[in-house]
Amino acid sequence: MPATNAAQSVPAPVRSPILTCVVAWLLPGSGHLLLGRKGRAAIVFITIAVCYLIGILMHGPFFEPTSGGDLLSRLIQYGGFLGDLANGLFYFATSWFGYGPPPSAGHNADYGSKFLVCAGLLNILAIVDAYEIATRQKE
């Protein structure tokens, strides 16, 4: 009898957590939408889209992983690249349409690249949130 109660106390996930994470990565907010959290999905999508759009409008360059330079420079480049990649379809569509501002010195481009990476980091947080909801670790 205790084995039956233990099996009943662990609820099954609402959706596949892997599917939820992949969908949430591809299009920000879609993981929450898949789980029926429409309000949270709208907030996530709008926040990440606006942050990404500000980075693009400021002509922020994407980070590119490089093999040269010192360890810290490579770490920054790879970390920034992963932040850019975390934007999912936003990043792929922007790259596919040929976005690539020329590297220019100045605070606009520098802050623009930070906005682009920040949008990706926010999407990673949204993916973790959707995963926790899908596995019922959080409501």
Global pTM reads 0.83
Range of the domain at 61: 14-134
**Per the domain annotation, does 3 fall within a domain?**
no
Q: What is the DSSP string of 87-105?
A: TTHHHHHHHHTT--PPP--
Dist. CA 128–CA 138, nearest whole Å = 11
Distances (CA, A) of 34 to 16, 79, 109: 10, 29, 35
Please check whether residue 32 lies inside any domain of the structure: yes
| Cβ atoms within 10 Å of 134's Cβ, excluding its own | 23
pLDDT tens per residue, range 48-58:
999 999 999 99
In a domain, 37, yes or no: yes
pLDDT at 70: 87
Say if CB 23 and CB 133 are below 8 A apart: no
